[in-house]
């Protein structure tokens, strides 16, 4: 085992540390002292010289080079008299930038979905037009001509002509918990990462949309507790493992004739090979539409092309994988219409490929034992992308031509993580850069990668970090007994004394393709880690097998056994760290949320001789109870993989608990249902195991709202200080074999 060179030396002397200001939970989660500056509602404008951003109920225009404000596109304060019922909460520009769609009084539905009152504001006439006055609606989207707007209300699609207010109802069969038009169902929204399922063609002649028939999908109900005499019950369609999913169909509405073309449907019967339609996208042509379809195992994908004018269908590519195929948003069509760009892991790492429209063998544009981590676009024969080329812990921004064998040229490669947003002309991009020890900066760059002007420097936050005595993060790696090299980072208390041992808190997520060990700013959780470090803890994070940016085999080797390799690696990491002379091996705790909560449970149960305490927030406790798309992608169904499910669900190891456990869940969690924690608690009770629990009525998976986060983090801090904090005496744990162990 080896430890790489520390990135930073300790910065604070004993005298300075004595003057360091103590971090409190209120500082982090009520005053938000460590919440850095960003750029809200940023949009490049087509002139290539300016950008717009939303500030204090105004959409303002700025000059890129000077940073000077050059205009006010719309002032929400002036629109109150015209009928805008609240402040501007978000906006989108029309294709010609002559109109804005404004959203106000937004109400969150699920993770990516919301409903609002939408208005269209015409910059030339100064006219404000309500999209639909009767009730809140969803997904208001201007067509490319800017003359009409499509939206969804009561699960039906409508189109409004802005010139005369004429309304056209595109669908009429929408019905709650039965038929959804133009928006996704819950599981598509959560696992395929989209809520908008309507798409204007490039010339505005067609509106393509998905229809979800979810009538056969089982329902799930959770309870909202309010001040009334009786609670309310929220019921929605949620397909768990092996259950029915929606039948999904693709349609195209022709605006000029009112005709609807029915293009394709999936999951129409139990024998239908094709089960999902995870992506729909127009080509650069006005009547050519693509759709991606997948089988239920998600290890086969087809990209289909529909020519609406010719009424034809063809397959542009087929991709298969022995594990699963990741769905992405990187499909980009060449300007000449003769091909497209696609990203794939087909060579073992995620890279960029160029296809022709006739299905010929693709040309691989990037290659090597490194990963393309984001694709930004294509312009004038060059592709722009982000990659973990130098290290899986870092990210750089690159450009490369479609022709020739030129190597990717870095546009932004400062140590740390670089992310870009490009203008339409690619003459400029906005670079967001951070390291794990320095908060984000936002800089306007020219097309050659030279800085033009800094928008955000976060110097105030950086100074505050010194005032509060932030300790530097150190990266390390080590090799497990199994032979895998794992990456990690660690934060140590200031002025450590030789021979003094400290309690250790490990933080884990660990899910497929995720990364926690990256050289980028970690935000609010880092502030909490620094609070614990001030109180004498060492904090460490290790990325286990199954995590990302190290190739397909590293990421997908947990296939069919989610939790097994990850738990083995976290236990190995705890043993490795516990062997360091400054860590008390009898006072190691672990904290995780969601997949990390699942991992924290596995570690305290299967690693009961290693971990003394665990905090598990919103955990999956049995994969049978989670949703179909996510779980089956990695585990297939319970009927196909019973052993994989049973051996890798924490609920089956409740009899092994020896340390201290805090189990936390929001009772209004639509994602990982409170059922998981309730069943875990029952299993612990039936095995006569003592544990602590906190539940949050009406809170969703994020457990927030008002003082909720401060309340939770106060409990977690107190729990750790009480159970494994400095000065707490712990009895030496011995592994006990309990009858009925798995």
**In this model, does residue 551 exceed pLDDT 60?**
yes
Measured distance CA(400)–CA(375) in Å, rounded: 12
Classify 254 as helix, strand or coil.
strand
pLDDT of residue 736: 41
DSSP, residue by residue, 14-59: HHHHHTPPPP-HHHHHTS-TT-----TT-EE-TTSSEEEEEETTEE
Greater model confidence, 39 or 309: 309
Q: Where are the alpha helices (DSSP H) in 484-624?
A: 523-534, 552-556, 564-578, 595-606
Q: What angle do CA 128, 132, 134 make, to 5 degrees?
A: 120
Neighbouring C-alpha atoms within 13 Å toward the C-beta of 208: 23
Measured distance CA(197)–CA(64) in Å, rounded: 34
**In this model, does residue 734 exceed pLDDT 50?**
no
- Mean pLDDT along residues 703-725: 97
CB-based contacts of 624, cutoff 8 Å, min separation 6: 240, 241, 638, 645, 649
Per-residue buried b or exposed e for 553-564, using 16+ beta carbons within 10 Å of the residue's own CB: ebbbebbbbbbb
Q: Which of 716, 632, 708 is nearest to 668 (CA)?
A: 708
20 confidence band (pLDDT: 50, 70, 90): confident
- Mean pLDDT along residues 503-515: 98
Give per-residue pLDDT as tens, 258-309. 999 999 999 999 999 999 999 999 999 989 999 999 999 999 999 999 999 9
- Mean pLDDT along residues 673-679: 98
Measured distance CA(90)–CA(92) in Å, rounded: 7
pLDDT of residue 19: 64
**In this model, does residue 8 exceed pLDDT 60?**
no
Q: Where are the alpha helices (DSSP H) in 579-689?
A: 595-606, 628-635, 642-647, 674-686
**In this model, does residue 15 exceed pLDDT 80?**
no
228 confidence band (pLDDT: 50, 70, 90): confident
H-helix or E-strand containing 713?
helix 708-724
pLDDT of residue 591: 98
pLDDT of residue 426: 94
**Total-model pTM:** 0.94
What are the strands, taking DSSP E only, across 296-350?
300-307, 312-320, 332-333, 339-344
- Mean pLDDT along residues 698-715: 97
The residues facing 116 across adjacent strands are: 137
pLDDT of residue 352: 98
Measured distance CA(272)–CA(723) in Å, rounded: 54
H-helix or E-strand containing 74?
strand 69-75
pLDDT of residue 226: 87
Measured distance CA(519)–CA(525) in Å, rounded: 15
**In this model, does residue 622 exceed pLDDT 70?**
yes
Q: 337 and 307 in contact (C-beta within 8 Å)?
A: no
pLDDT of residue 566: 98
Classify 165 as helix, strand or coil.
coil
360 confidence band (pLDDT: 50, 70, 90): confident
Give per-residue pLDDT as tens, 162-180. 999 999 999 999 999 999 9
Number of H helices, E strands in the chain: 12, 43
Angular region, 674: left φ>0, alpha ψ -120 to 50, beta rest: alpha
**In this model, does residue 113 exceed pLDDT 50?**
yes
pLDDT of residue 359: 78
**In this model, does residue 489 exceed pLDDT 60?**
yes
Q: Which of 242, 297, 247 is nearest to 267 (CA)?
A: 247
1 confidence band (pLDDT: 50, 70, 90): very low
Q: 561 and 323 in contact (C-beta within 8 Å)?
A: no
CB atoms under 10 Å from CB of 724, counted, come to 23
Give per-residue pLDDT as tens, 68-94. 999 999 999 999 989 999 999 999 999
The residues facing 444 across adjacent strands are: 430, 453
Measured distance CA(150)–CA(697) in Å, rounded: 36
pLDDT of residue 729: 82
Q: What angle do CA 592, 597, 603 make, to 5 degrees?
A: 85
Parallel, antiparallel, or unpaired for β 363-364 and 371-379?
unpaired
CB-based contacts of 729, cutoff 8 Å, min separation 6: none
pLDDT of residue 731: 62
Share of the chain above pLDDT 90, in %: 92
38 confidence band (pLDDT: 50, 70, 90): confident
pLDDT of residue 49: 86
Given CATH 3.40.50.1820, say whether it is the number of domain 14-33+486-724: yes
Q: Which of 596, 613, 579 is nearest to 725 (CA)?
A: 613
- Domain limits, the chain: 14-33+486-724
pLDDT of residue 180: 98
Give per-residue pLDDT as tens, 116-155. 999 999 999 999 999 999 999 999 999 999 999 999 999 9
Give per-residue pLDDT as tens, 595-611. 999 999 999 999 999 99
Measured distance CA(454)–CA(39) in Å, rounded: 12
């Amino acid at each position: 085992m080896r430890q790489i060179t520390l990135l930073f030396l300790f910065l604070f002397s004993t005298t300075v540390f004595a003057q360091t200001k103590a971090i409190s939970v209120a500082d982090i989660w009520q005053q938000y002292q460590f919440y850095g500056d960003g750029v809200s509602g940023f949009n490049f404008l087509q002139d290539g010289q300016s950008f717009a951003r939303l500030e204090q109920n105004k959409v303002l225009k700025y000059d890129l080079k000077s940073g000077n404000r050059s205009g006010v596109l719309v002032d929400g304060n002036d629109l109150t008299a015209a009928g805008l019922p609240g402040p501007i909460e978000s906006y989108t520009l029309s294709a010609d930038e002559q109109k804005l769609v404004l959203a106000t009084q937004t109400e969150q539905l699920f993770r990516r979905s919301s409903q609002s009152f939408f208005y269209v504001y015409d910059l030339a006439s100064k006219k404000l037009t309500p999209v639909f006055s009767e009730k809140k609606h969803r997904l208001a989207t201007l067509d490319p001509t800017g003359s009409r707007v499509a939206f969804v209300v009561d699960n039906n699609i409508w189109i409004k002509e802005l010139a005369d207010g004429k309304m056209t109802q595109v669908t009429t069969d929408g019905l709650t918990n039965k038929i959804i038009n133009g928006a996704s169902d819950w599981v598509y929204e959560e696992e395929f990462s989209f809520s908008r399922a309507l798409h204007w063609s490039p010339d505005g002649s067609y509106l393509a949309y998905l229809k979800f028939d979810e009538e056969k999908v089982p329902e799930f109900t959770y309870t909202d507790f309010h001040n009334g005499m009786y609670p309310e019950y929220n019921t929605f369609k949620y397909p768990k493992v092996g259950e029915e999913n929606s039948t999904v169909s693709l349609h195209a509405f022709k605006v000029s004739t009112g005709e609807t073309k029915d293009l394709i449907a999936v999951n129409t019967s139990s024998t239908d090979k094709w089960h999902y339609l995870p992506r729909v996208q127009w080509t650069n042509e006005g009547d050519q539409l693509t759709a991606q379809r997948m089988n239920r195992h998600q290890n086969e994908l087809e990209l289909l092309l529909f020519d609406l004018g010719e009424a034809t269908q063809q397959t542009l590519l087929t991709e298969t994988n022995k594990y699963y195929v990741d769905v992405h948003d990187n499909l980009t069509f060449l300007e000449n219409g003769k091909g497209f760009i696609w990203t794939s892991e087909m060579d073992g790492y995620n890279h960029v490929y160029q296809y022709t429209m006739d299905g010929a063998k693709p040309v691989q544009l990037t290659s090597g034992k490194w990963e393309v981590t984001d694709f930004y676009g294509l312009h004038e024969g060059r592709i722009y992308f982000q990659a973990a080329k130098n290290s899986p812990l870092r990210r750089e921004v690159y450009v490369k031509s479609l022709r020739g064998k030129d190597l990717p040229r870095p546009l932004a490669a400062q140590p740390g993580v670089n992310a870009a947003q490009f203008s339409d002309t690619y003459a400029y991009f906005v670079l967001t850069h951070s390291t794990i020890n320095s908060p984000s900066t936002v800089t306007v760059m020219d097309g050659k990668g030279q800085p033009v002007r800094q928008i955000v420097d976060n110097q105030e936050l950086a100074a505050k970090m010194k005032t509060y005595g932030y300790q530097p993060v150190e990266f390390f790696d080590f090799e497990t007994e199994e032979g895998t090299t794992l990456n990690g980072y660690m934060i140590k208390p200031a002025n450590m004394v030789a021979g003094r041992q400290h309690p250790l808190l490990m933080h884990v997520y660990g899910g497929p393709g995720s990364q926690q060990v990256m050289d980028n700013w970690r935000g609010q959780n880092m502030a909490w880690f620094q609070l614990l470090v001030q109180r004498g803890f060492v904090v460490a994070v290790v990325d286990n097998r199954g995590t990302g940016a190290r190739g397909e085999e590293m990421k997908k080797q947990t296939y069919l056994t989610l939790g097994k390799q990850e738990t083995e690696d976290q236990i190995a990491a705890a043993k490795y760290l516990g062997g360091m002379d400054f860590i008390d091996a009898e006072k190691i705790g672990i904290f995780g949320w969601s997949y990390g909560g699942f991992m924290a449970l596995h570690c305290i149960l299967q690693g009961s001789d290693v971990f003394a305490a665990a905090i598990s927030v919103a955990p999956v406790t049995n994969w049978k109870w989670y949703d179909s798309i996510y779980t089956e992608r990695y585990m297939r169904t319970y009927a196909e993989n019973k052993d994989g499910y049973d051996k890798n669900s924490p609920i089956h190891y409740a009899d092994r608990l020896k340390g201290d456990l805090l189990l936390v869940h929001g009772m209004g969690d639509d994602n990982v249902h409170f059922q998981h924690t309730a069943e875990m608690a029952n299993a612990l009770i039936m095995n006569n195991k003592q544990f602590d629990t906190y539940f949050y009525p009406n809170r969703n998976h994020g457990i927030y709202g008002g003082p909720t986060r401060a309340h939770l983090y106060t409990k977690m801090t107190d729990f750790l200080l009480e159970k494994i904090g400095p000065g707490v005496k712990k009895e030496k744990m011995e592994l006990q074999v309990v009858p009925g162990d798995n």
